[in-house]
Amino acid sequence: MKKILTVTTLIIAIMLPNFALASLKNANEPVFSYRILVSLGNVGDYGGYDLKLFKNGEIELNELKIGSCSSASSIFYALPITAVQEIYDIIEGADIKNIPLILDNGSKNGIVSSFGFNYTYINGINLSITNENEIKEEFIENAHYENTVLELFNNIGQVFLQYGFELKLYSFEIMG
């Protein structure tokens, strides 16, 4: 009987994608994270949100308040492992290795966005999709990087949307 279990376990391990095997070991590591911080407003007002999608499919959402060091609330949701795998594949397929960790579009204050794509973390202020032909030459390269990051974010958002979650730069909402 022991031999059969070993063979069965081996067959299951071969059939599972590498990501699924890794997720069993490191379920508490985020595949994707996003945090937005609002820098202007009254103490106690909405200050953004912090979202983490873990390898096991758990979504941790924290609403942030202006002037508070801790989150106002923590809410947990879940995505199926197949959705997490799809997001993982989208991130792995993106060409982000040459993008600077801090995007500089000339903004000195405003809405701060922090993206976590597996183990790559990218930050920027007042990010937006930009027509690279319509901006100052000194910011063209940065505009290209911003567009790449935001396109990746939007592609991930499409997966969330399939499961009833609307992931936007400024909010995260449950559909329906």
Does residue 16 lie within any of the structural domains? Answer: no
Does residue 100 lie within any of the structural domains? Answer: yes
- Model confidence at 27, pLDDT cuts 50, 70, 90, reads confident
- Of 4-8, 14-18, 79-83, 133-137, minimum mean pLDDT range: 4-8
Does residue 151 lie within any of the structural domains? Answer: yes
Per-residue pLDDT, 72 = 61
Does residue 6 lie within any of the structural domains? Answer: no
CA 7 – CA 21 distance, rounded (Å)? 17
Give residue 64's identity as a one-letter amino acid code. Answer: L
CA 79 – CA 52 distance, rounded (Å)? 12
> Is the per-residue pLDDT at 55 higher than 60?
yes
Question: Structural domain tally of the chain?
Answer: 1
Does residue 129 lie within any of the structural domains? Answer: yes
Q: In degrees to the nearest 10, what's the CA dihedral of 106, 109, 113, 119?
A: 70
pLDDT, average across residues 76-93: 98
Does residue 134 lie within any of the structural domains? Answer: yes
Task: Give tens-digit pLDDT for 90-135.
Answer: 999 999 999 999 999 988 888 999 999 999 999 999 999 999 888 8
pLDDT, average across residues 54-59: 97
> Is the per-residue pLDDT at 23 higher than 80?
no
At which residue do the structure tokens 């032909």 appear?
133
The distance between the two most distant Cα atoms of the chain, rounded to a whole number of Å, is 71
Does residue 10 lie within any of the structural domains? Answer: no
* Assigned token pair, 135: 């901006």
Angle (CA) 129 31 107, round 5° = 30
Does residue 139 lie within any of the structural domains? Answer: yes
Whole domain around residue 146: which residue ranges? 25-174
